[in-house]
Structure 1
Amino acid sequence: TMSGEEEPRSYYVGVDVGTGSVRAALVDQRGVLLAFADQPIKKWEPQFNHHEQSSEDIWAACCVVTKNLRETCWDKAGHFFDLPDFLSWKATGVTARSLCSLVCKWTYSAEKGWDDSFWKMIGLEDFVADNYNKIGNQVLPPGTSLGSGLTPEAAKELGLRPGVPVAASLIDAHAGGLGVIGADVRGHGLICEGQPVTSRLAVICGTSSCHMGISKDPIFVPGVWGPYFSAMVPGFWLNEGGQSVTGKLIDHLVQGHPAFPELQAKATARCQSIYAYLNSHLDLIKKTEPVGFLTVDLHVWPDFHGNRSPLADLTLKGMVTGLKLSQDLDDLAILYLATVQAIAFGTRFIIEAMEAAGHSISTLFLCGGLSKNPLFVQMHADITGMSVVLSQEVESVLVGAAILGACASGDFTSVQEAMARMSKVGKVVFPRLEDKKYYDKKYQVFLKLVEHQKEYSAIMSGD
């Protein structure tokens, strides 16, 4: 540092393993992203609809991105790991598991531990041996410092110093929730300002969407995963709703439309993304009414890949009603709008299930790729009737991962303190309450669609 007065600054590396790439960011104590790197990871399809990835390839990509950041700024299976725990083991040599991955992805209970009878029932009683040594018998809350930090070998591969503290990890969506849900909202005119953090729902929207709500006491919500104790925010129970393939669905419908080549050419000519172009095209074709009203007779049920929450029915299919014979750019734009609205109605459906079970939610905190799309954000506000808070840093998953590193380093006394200091509100989008009646009607149609779909399959499977 320049002057003797200033103390040396601390920086944290957040690493996020997505479906197609590994991303890393250098984050400072104020939660600001100073540098970013990403590296694609390989996918194999050994047979149709079977997708495989390699943990060694993912670790190699983690090393590449971490090194890039460093340069920008100065025989039998012994263990079975979920990816977050595999990565922290590669970094530290410590086989401890994160409470997050064991509770959310395995059958571990934060209160009772493993259940012997479950493994015996499914014929995997070898896991019970040696006090569950193969699948984890030391379980730590996310953000806990692991062992003595980076091993010399891992430090060399990552381009960092040996002994750098490494935190027990989080699943990516949970890190996104951690990165947004604790933001200091004072001065933004939000109702959640005077409310407990349990009134906030974090929605992480990427290829798929996750809806993270926390509560002081366990709440069981049909069709929503959880409740998981301390799996995201220490001391709180987590409920996790989800929508399979949301970003992927928008891409699928837009790219499969006959007017897509024209859209691509026009967006490229304007140096815009296809979605920025579609959003401005919708503004162009709307008449006197708001953009949302263009879908008065076009309705979409978005479960092209089954329903995760709140119906938990993987047999459900997608539906579009109100198709016409024309296939021009206007039709593509309106189909895109109806799809975005359908995803927002799906979020409303999940929120209503959570509230019926005892959650009390007033404000949405959005992050992930789709939160960069203003239409997607506005539709979530209008359709749920709730304000939407966007983070200053869109890459909230990386901020959440860095928050864990900040805790492991001892710079903050708790995850909550790091959250309050490192997550910042960027923008607040308020709902257009005057459009509420229109969206309530569309929501009635939305619920009718799935009701009808179930009737169709009952007819077809009947005698």
Structure 2
Amino acid sequence: MTYYLGVDVGTGSARAGVFDATGQLLGTHAEAIATYRPAPGYAQQATAEIWAAVGTACRAAIAAAGIYKDGIRGIGFDATCSLVVSDDEGGPVPVGRDGVPDQDVMLWMDHRAISDAEEINAIGGAPLKYVGGTISPEMELPKLRWMKRELPEAWARTARFWDLPDWLVHRATNGETRSLCSTVCKWTYLGHKGQTGEGWDDEFLAKIGLGDLATANHDALGAELVAPGTPCGGVTEQAAAELGVAPGTPVAASLIDAYAGALGTLAVDRGADPLSTRLALIAGTSSCHIAVSPDPVFVPGVWGPYFGVLLPDLWALEGGQSAAGALIDAVIARHGASAALMEQAEAEDCRITDLLDRTLAGMAEETATLSADRHVQPDFHGNRSPLAQPWRKGGISGLTLDAGVEDLALDYLATVQALAYGTRHIITEMSAAGADVDTLVVSGGLARNALFLRENADATGCRVVVPDQKEPVLLGCAMLGAVTAGDQPDVETAMSSMCGTGTVVAPRGGAIAAYHDRKYEVFRSMQEDFAKYTKIMGMTK
């Protein structure tokens, strides 16, 4: 038997899964990762802690699968698009003002570089065309610009900058190869220009104050770039002992976590549907909306088009919401009824959202329309797409003096619906530019939330497909392992043979669709109102 190891480093944990050649999960394990927040807007991690968690997760997953380490034919990594900084010996360079030596990772959600992103957008440059016209502080160049200005000593010590998925491959193999997925999506590399450094725009780097990164064959950024799934060498002796695999086990070029989710889901119950009619909605702490097309499609405020970052010769678009599951958690946590409800959830060994779903069901037979006078503007952590305004704030309209569980249930319902309207907004803008989708394939933690699935189907009018495979992100990584091992000829073939089946949630249409049309109109009006308020207060961006 042949097996593949998928490793997913998310915001709060490292997870590993062992899969067979058909895509069946045989064993999995998760290990927590700490996040440090030394100041508002900051979010930092440590690669030493990340790698230790990865090792623990891999060894435990292999043990849970009940296989020998020699059975692992290939390994695929994904991770959040976080910035890793290392010196010329591969050691950590601190990214915080406090200089904590091991904290060498700026997490994707770190927003300290908002002003740098704004300045880069004001300067302009050709690569911005391929990020929806506006660079985000969640991408790497604004973070690099901030670091160069604010931490000059750390900057001088730095020899290599990595996206976390690429750093994991580097740590496993001691190689220098970078994945097109990370460099194109988050570093403004233009993948359609080539894979040996031609895609770095030196003029643009110089204009934004990062011209020193264009020297030495772009070694600090990456000069050898390959498609996801490409062999990047074998696991070193040291890494093999840490991961619990055999030395020399092939390691694939990596993916950003959301793209691993897209790889593991887009072909679920695909049939004869073109991939271009499907959108992968990876909904966890944040959400990512990924679609592919044979031709480049430019959508203002939506990242991309990115060439070759998921499948060879296809372009990808990436929308997203900076807070999805995190928003639901925050809205629940700040309500006065949440503490007692959390105690009840612990006593009943269930999720607090299960109790809120039960509350909503007791309030009305048709729960969707309970929110007629409760509306949420979900941009609590800014708007990633399609407005591309990270400074935006959120809000709730329709509050009363009620502080009971039913009032919290209304906040919860309206928040879930607001996230669905955000997805509808992204889809609408994509469609206007020529990228039409009719199916959402949902993965991530919110794929286990029935209310989230139902409201997305009804609010967008799209068919929602939920993979039967409970760990599709890990499966996407395992597919990379199968390709790099030579057991699958290419990534698309791996998708077709390993994605499996799913469950469909169909939009109901009729009166429910009309209700969501009205709610969506309120949603868009609230976005416009926010712009008015910032202008009135003299805070216009």
Partner of 1:402: 478
Aligned mate of 1:26, from 2, 18, 29: 18
SS of 1:227's equivalent in the other structure is strand
Q: Given that residues 344 and 383 in structure 1 are in contact (C-alpha distance below 8 angstroms), is that contact kept between their aligned partners in structure 2?
A: yes
Offset of residue 31 of structure 1: 1.1
Q: How many corresponding residue pairs?
A: 445
Offset of residue 393 of structure 1: 1.6
Q: Is it true that 1:443 corresponds to 2:435 in the alignment?
A: no
CA distance in 2, matches of 1:181, 1:262: 40
Partner of 1:68: 60
Aligned mate of 1:364, from 429, 435, 440: 440
Offset of residue 213 of structure 1: 0.8
What one-letter code is carried by the residue in structure 2 that aligns with 1:14?
G
Offset of residue 102 of structure 1: 0.7
Partner of 1:190: none
Q: Given that residues 403 and 415 in structure 1 are in contact (C-alpha distance below 8 angstroms), is that contact kept between their aligned partners in structure 2?
A: yes
Q: Given that residues 371 and 394 in structure 1 are in contact (C-alpha distance below 8 angstroms), is that contact kept between their aligned partners in structure 2?
A: no
Q: Output one character per residue of 1:91-121: Cα deviation in whole Å (capped at 9) or x when no partner.
A: 1121110010110111211133211212322
Structure 1 runs (4+) deviating above 6 angstroms are none
Q: Given that residues 389 and 425 in structure 1 are in contact (C-alpha distance below 8 angstroms), is that contact kept between their aligned partners in structure 2?
A: no
Q: Is it true that 1:83 corresponds to 2:170 in the alignment?
A: no
Q: Is it true that 1:182 corresponds to 2:267 in the alignment?
A: yes
Q: Percent identity?
A: 47
CA distance in 1, matches of 2:63, 2:452: 36
CA distance in 1, matches of 2:174, 2:346: 48
Aligned mate of 1:144, from 224, 227, 230: 230
Partner of 2:184: 103
Most deviating of 271-280 and 82-91: 271-280
Q: Is it true that 1:268 corresponds to 2:346 in the alignment?
A: yes
Most deviating of 105-114 and 344-353: 105-114
What one-letter code is carried by the residue in structure 1 that aligns with 2:274?
P
Partner of 1:4: none
Change (3 A) 1:462 1:395: closer
SS of 1:15's equivalent in the other structure is strand
CA distance in 1, matches of 2:40, 2:521: 37
Offset of residue 44 of structure 1: 2.1
Q: Given that residues 84 and 171 in structure 1 are in contact (C-alpha distance below 8 angstroms), is that contact kept between their aligned partners in structure 2?
A: yes
Most deviating of 446-455 and 347-356: 446-455
What one-letter code is carried by the residue in structure 1 that aligns with 2:263?
L
Q: Output one character per residue of 1:155-206: Cα deviation in whole Å (capped at 9) or x when no partner.
A: 12211101111000000011001110022334xxxxxxx4311000000000
Offset of residue 425 of structure 1: 2.3
CA distance in 2, matches of 1:283, 1:128: 59
Q: Given that residues 28 and 62 in structure 2 are in contact (C-alpha distance below 8 angstroms), is that contact kept between their aligned partners in structure 1?
A: no
SS of 1:444's equivalent in the other structure is helix
Q: Is it true that 1:121 corresponds to 2:207 in the alignment?
A: yes
Partner of 2:500: 424
SS of 1:238's equivalent in the other structure is strand
Offset of residue 46 of structure 1: 2.9
Aligned mate of 2:487, from 405, 408, 411: 411
Partner of 1:11: 3
CA distance in 2, matches of 1:371, 1:445: 26
Q: Output one character per residue of 1:243-288: Cα deviation in whole Å (capped at 9) or x when no partner.
A: 01111111111111111123223333433211111111111111x5
Unmatched tracts of structure 2, length 5 or more? 68-87, 89-156, 194-198
CA distance in 1, matches of 2:299, 2:502: 31
What one-letter code is carried by the residue in structure 2 that aligns with 1:320?
I
Aligned mate of 2:220, from 134, 137, 142: 134
What one-letter code is carried by the residue in structure 2 that aligns with 1:119?
L
Written as runs of structure 1 = structure 2, the 5 A alignment for 1:188-227 is 194-227=272-305
Written as runs of structure 1 = structure 2, the 5 A alignment for 1:158-173 is 158-173=243-258
Partner of 2:367: 291
Partner of 1:455: 532
Partner of 2:81: none
SS of 2:167's equivalent in the other structure is helix
Offset of residue 344 of structure 1: 0.4
CA distance in 2, matches of 1:323, 1:48: 27
Change (3 A) 1:323 1:164: same
Q: Output one character per residue of 1:183-238: Cα deviation in whole Å (capped at 9) or x when no partner.
A: 2334xxxxxxx431100000000010000011110011000000000111222100
Offset of residue 462 of structure 1: 9.0
Q: Output one character per residue of 1:7-59: Cα deviation in whole Å (capped at 9) or x when no partner.
A: xx211111111111111111111111111111111222333432211122211
What one-letter code is carried by the residue in structure 2 that aligns with 1:36?
T
SS of 1:219's equivalent in the other structure is coil
Partner of 2:36: 44
Q: Is it true that 1:388 corresponds to 2:464 in the alignment?
A: yes
What one-letter code is carried by the residue in structure 2 that aligns with 1:81?
W
Unmatched tracts of structure 1, length 5 or more? 1-8, 187-193
CA distance in 1, matches of 2:161, 2:396: 43
**Normalised by the size of structure 2, how large is the TM-score?**
0.80
Q: Given that residues 174 and 212 in structure 1 are in contact (C-alpha distance below 8 angstroms), is that contact kept between their aligned partners in structure 2?
A: yes
Aligned mate of 1:241, from 283, 301, 319: 319
Most deviating of 133-142 and 404-413: 133-142
Offset of residue 418 of structure 1: 0.4
CA RMSD of aligned residues (A): 1.6
SS of 1:176's equivalent in the other structure is helix
Q: Given that residues 262 and 329 in structure 1 are in contact (C-alpha distance below 8 angstroms), is that contact kept between their aligned partners in structure 2?
A: no
Change (3 A) 1:392 1:462: closer
CA distance in 2, matches of 1:185, 1:219: 22
What one-letter code is carried by the residue in structure 2 that aligns with 1:129?
T
What one-letter code is carried by the residue in structure 2 that aligns with 1:44?
Y
CA distance in 1, matches of 2:190, 2:276: 22
What one-letter code is carried by the residue in structure 2 that aligns with 1:142?
P
CA distance in 1, matches of 2:493, 2:539: 58
CA distance in 2, matches of 1:328, 1:45: 32
Partner of 1:326: 402
Partner of 1:189: none
Q: Output one character per residue of 1:308-354: Cα deviation in whole Å (capped at 9) or x when no partner.
A: 10001122211211111111111111110000000000000000011
CA distance in 2, matches of 1:24, 1:202: 21
